[in-house]
Amino acid sequence: MTAERTATAPTVGTATSSRVLTPWVAQARPQPPTIVRGAGRHLHTKDGRRLLDLSAGLVAVNVGHGHPRVVEAIRQQAEKLCYATPAFGNDEREALASRLSDLAPWAEGARSFFTTGGGEANEDAVKMARAITGRHKVLSAYRSFHGSAPGAGTLTGEDRRWANEPGMPGVARFFAPYPYRSPFGTTDPQAETRAALAHLELVLTHEGPANVAAIVLEPVVGTNGVIVPPEGYLEGVRELATRHGIVLIFDEVMTGFGRVGDRFAAVRFGVEPDMITMAKGIASAYVPLGGVLVRERLAAHFDDAPLMCGHTYSGHPLAVAAADANLTVLEEEGLYERARSLEESLRERLNGLRDAHEAIGDVRGIGAFFGIEFVRDRTTKEPWVPWYGGGNAPMTRFTGALRDEGVYAFGRYNVLLVSPPLTILESELDEGVEALDRVLAREPWRTP
C-alpha cells in the first residue's frame, strides 16, 4: 500500500495527470479543457474560456445546459427522496413511464424498463426479445454503435467492438444503406434501398429466420456517420421482421426526444418498431438515465414470465424527476418543432460550407442531427483516414483547432457531428459555422 501511495505521478500536461481514465483514447495525450460550468448553449472552462456547444455534449443535452426547470426538479427530488429500490413503486418513476407510453408510437401504449444508459438498454432489449420469442440470434448492422459493455459491444458493428471479441454469442451482422459510400455499389437512393433490403433478406436466409429473435437498428446512424436511411428502407426492414416474427428494436439513444424533429425517429419516419431503446435526450444527460420502451402486446409476456433484467439504479428517483422536467421543457418550449426549423437552417449553412471547401465531401442530416464528412479528394471520395483502424489524429487536430475558435464539436475519423442543443439561436449557429469556416480555411488536419 505504501508503494502505491508513493508511486511516481503521471507526467504533468498529459491527460493521465488527472488520475481519470478517459474513454476511447490513449491516456498520454495533451490535456483537454476542464469544464466547470454549463449555461444554455455554452460550456465554461477552468481557465475562463467559453465554448459554444455545437454537439450538445455527445448528442445528449437537448434542452441546453443548466435549464432552471430541470435543475429545480432535481433539487426538489433530492430533498424528498434520493433512492428507492426498483422493486418498490415510486410515484416519479410511474409518472414518467405513463408519460412515455403517451409519447410512444404505438396506439396500444407501452411499458418502460429503466436503466442508467443506452448500452444497458440495448442489452436488456435483446434479453427481452430472446425471452419473448424463444430464439437466440440477433442481427445488427456493421456501421453501428450500441454501447461498449460486452453485450452491447458485440451488437456494435464498428471497430469499437473488437476489444470485446469474441463477445456475446448469437450476433450476426449485415450492411445497412449508406448512399454516399454505398456498400452495394449503387449511386441512386432507391437502388440503395432495394439492394440493402435484398442483402438483409439474404443474411436472414443464411442465419435461418426462425432462429432470429431481433434486429437491432439505429433509425439514423449516429457516431458512424449520421446516415439518414433512404426512403423505404425502414419500412422494408419492418416488413421483413413482421413476416418472420422477429422483434424489431430501434436504438433511439441519439435520435429520441426531439433530436430528429419529433418525439422519436419512429414517429418522424412513420415506422413502428417493437421496442425503442433510449437514453441521452430523455433527461438531456442531466442525470444518467436510459431504458427500453416495450409495446404493450410484447410487454404483456412478462405478466406471467419473470423479467430477468435488473439494475440497482433502475428508475433512479433523481433521474426520472430530471427526465419528467426535461420532457415538459421539450413540449412547452416547442423544441420538437424547433428541431424541424433547425433542419433547414443547418442544411443551408452547412451546404454553404461544402460549396466553399473542397475538404467537405458530403453534408447530411435530419432535424438537429447533421454530419459533415471530410475527404482528401471530393471526386474520388478518398477519406481523411480509413474508417477502421485509420486513427483519429486528423479529427482530433480539427476539433482542437475548433476549440481555439471558441466552439466545441466532436467527431470520429472523417465525420464531424453537428447536433446542437435544440435551444440554439440562429446567431449562435452563425457563430459556429463561421468558426468551422475559419478552421477549414487553415486545413489543420494536414499539420504534422
d(Cα 255, Cα 264) in Å, to the nearest integer?
Answer: 6
Query: Could you tell me where the DSSP H helices lie in 179-316?
Result: 189-207, 233-244, 265-269, 296-299
Place of cell 429473435: 213
Provide the β-strand partners of residue 383: 375
pLDDT (0 to 100) of residue 103: 98
pLDDT (0 to 100) of residue 390: 72
pLDDT (0 to 100) of residue 436: 98
Provide the β-strand partners of residue 140: 173, 216
DSSP 132-147: HH---EEEEESS----
Pairing of strands 137-141, 50-53: unpaired
Which residues belong to CATH 3.90.1150.10 in the chain? 33-63+334-446
How many of the other CB atoms lie within 10 Å of CB of 334? 13
Provide the grid cell at 294: 416495450
d(Cα 328, Cα 301) in Å, to the nearest integer?
Answer: 31
Phi, psi of 430 (to 5 degrees): -60, -45
* Architecture of the structural domain at 33-63+334-446: Alpha-Beta Complex (3.90)
pLDDT (0 to 100) of residue 392: 86
Place of cell 448528442: 59
Give the CA dihedral 98, 91, 311, 108, nearest 10 degrees: -10
Give, for all 448 residues of the chain, the pLDDT tens digit.
Answer: 344 443 444 444 444 457 888 888 888 888 889 999 999 999 999 999 999 999 999 999 999 999 999 999 999 999 999 999 999 999 999 999 999 999 999 999 999 999 999 999 999 999 999 999 999 999 999 999 999 999 999 999 999 899 889 999 999 999 999 999 999 999 999 999 999 999 999 999 999 999 999 999 999 999 999 999 999 999 999 999 999 999 999 999 999 999 999 999 999 999 999 999 999 999 999 999 999 999 999 999 999 999 999 999 999 999 999 999 999 999 999 999 999 999 999 999 999 999 999 999 999 999 999 999 999 999 999 998 888 777 888 999 999 999 999 999 999 999 999 999 999 999 999 999 999 999 999 876 665 4
250 neighbors 266 (Cβ within 8 angstroms) = yes
The CATH code of domain 69-332 reads 3.40.640.10
295 neighbors 108 (Cβ within 8 angstroms) = yes
Nearest in space to 229 (alpha carbons), one of 269, 256, 284: 269
Place of cell 408510437: 105
Provide the β-strand partners of residue 275: 249, 294
- The pTM of this model reads 0.95
At 318, the amino acid letter reads L
pLDDT (0 to 100) of residue 445: 62
pLDDT (0 to 100) of residue 9: 42
What are the tens digits of pLDDT across the range 178-211?
999 999 999 999 999 999 999 999 999 999 999 9
What are the tens digits of pLDDT across the range 4-62?
443 444 444 444 457 888 888 888 888 889 999 999 999 999 999 999 999 999 999 99
103 neighbors 336 (Cβ within 8 angstroms) = no
Q: Answer positive or negative: Cα dihedral of 99, 100, 105, 106.
A: negative
How many of the other CB atoms lie within 10 Å of CB of 381? 14
Which residues belong to CATH 3.40.640.10 in the chain? 69-332
